[in-house]
C-alpha cells in the first residue's frame, strides 16, 4: 500500500501547495480512485483550512469529529470523492464534493441537502438466488433495484428515495473531462452508458458534448441536490 505521495505529482485540486514540502498523504484504497478523490487529512487541512498542520487534522479526524456520507471516519487517508457529503457536527457545517474542470471542489450545503445523495449506477449483475444487484460509483450495492447502468439513485439514509432514469430530457451533470462541472438537458446519446459514445446536452448558452460515461442524471428540470461548484 502506498503511504505517501510526492506533492509535485499530487492532483492540483487538492490545493496542497506543491512546493511547500516533499511528501503528502496518499488516499487509501476505498470507494473512489486515488486520482479522483481527496484524502480526508488533505481536505480538512488544505481544502477547508480548518487546521494548520497535518497533526492537528489527524487529531480532529481520530477524535471522530468528521463524518462522510453519515459514517464517522477516523482514518485520515480515507478518500473523499464525487458528491460525497462531509459533515462536521461540532461546527454545524456540511459540505459536498462536486466536480469542476480541474477535478473536485468542496462547497458548503444546507443540513437538508446533506441528507440526500445522488449516486450513479455503474454495473448490474445477477447474484445468488437469482436476484439483481446494482453497484454505484461510490461502491454501494443495492439488491432488487429496478435501475439500469447509467441511471442515478437518489438515496437518503442509504435507502433509495427515487430512481432518475438516463433518458433524453433529463438534467445531467458532467463529472469528468473538459466539460466537468457543467449541467445541461440531455438531448440524445449514442450507445449505452457503459461505453465511450457521445452525449449531446443543452446548456444555458450552448449545446455541448461529453462522453456518455462522464455524465450522470441529477434531476428532471432542476438538480435534486446542490451540485454546482
| Statement: 116-164 belongs to CATH 2.40.50.740 | yes
Beta-carbon contacts of 130 under 8 Å, excluding residues fewer than 6 positions away, are: none
Residue 23 pLDDT > 90 = no
In this predicted model, which residue has the larger pLDDT, 47 or 18?
47
What is the per-residue pLDDT for 20?
62
Please, which residues bridge with residue 125 across strands? 133
In the CATH hierarchy, which top-level class contains the domain 4-114? alpha beta
Per the CB < 8 A criterion, the answer to whether 95 and 48 are in contact is: yes
* 67-91 mean pLDDT: 96
Asked if pLDDT for residue 82 goes beyond 60, the answer is yes
Which class is 171-219 in CATH? mainly beta
* Integer Cα distance of 1 and 3 in angstroms: 6
| pTM, rounded to two decimals | 0.88
151, 164 contact by CB (below 8 A) = yes
- Which string of DSSP letters, residue by residue, matches 113-176? HHTEEEEEEEEEEEETTTEEEEEETTS-EEES----TT-EEEEETTEEEEEE---TT-EEEE-S
Domain chopping of the chain, boundaries: 4-114, 116-164, 171-219
Among the ranges given (21-35, 61-75, 182-196, 209-223), the one the predictor scored with the smallest mean pLDDT? 21-35
Write down the pLDDT at residue 9. 52
Rounded to whole angstroms, how far apart are CA atoms 184 and 217? 10
- Indicate if the pLDDT at residue 22 is higher than 70: no
Amino acid at each position: 500500500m502506498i503511504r505517501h505521495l510526492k506533492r509535485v505529482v499530487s492532483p492540483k485540486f487538492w490545493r496542497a501547495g506543491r512546493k511547500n514540502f516533499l511528501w503528502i498523504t496518499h488516499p487509501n484504497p476505498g470507494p473512489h480512485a486515488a486520482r479522483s478523490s481527496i484524502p480526508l487529512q488533505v481536505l480538512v487541512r488544505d481544502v477547508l483550512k480548518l487546521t494548520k498542520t497535518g497533526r492537528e487534522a489527524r487529531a480532529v479526524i481520530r477524535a471522530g469529529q468528521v463524518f462522510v456520507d453519515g459514517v464517522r471516519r477516523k482514518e485520515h487517508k480515507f478518500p473523499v470523492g464525487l458528491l460525497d457529503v462531509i459533515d462536521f457536527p461540532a461546527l454545524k457545517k456540511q459540505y459536498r464534493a462536486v466536480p469542476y474542470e480541474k477535478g473536485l471542489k468542496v462547497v458548503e450545503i444546507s443540513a437538508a441537502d446533506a441528507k440526500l445523495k445522488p449516486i450513479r449506477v455503474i454495473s448490474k449483475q445477477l447474484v445468488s438466488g437469482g436476484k439483481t444487484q446494482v453497484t454505484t460509483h461510490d461502491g454501494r450495492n443495492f439488491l432488487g433495484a429496478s435501475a439500469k447502468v447509467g441511471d442515478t439513485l437518489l438515496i437518503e439514509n442509504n435507502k433509495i428515495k427515487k430512481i432518475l432514469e438516463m433518458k433524453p430530457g433529463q438534467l445531467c451533470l458532467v463529472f469528468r473531462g473538459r466539460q466537468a462541472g457543467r449541467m445541461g438537458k440531455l438531448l440524445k446519446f449514442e450507445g449505452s452508458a457503459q461505453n465511450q459514445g457521445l452525449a449531446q446536452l443543452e446548456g444555458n448558452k450552448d449545446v455541448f458534448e461529453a462522453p456518455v460515461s462522464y455524465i450522470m442524471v441529477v434531476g428532471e428540470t432542476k438538480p435534486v441536490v446542490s451540485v454546482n461548484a
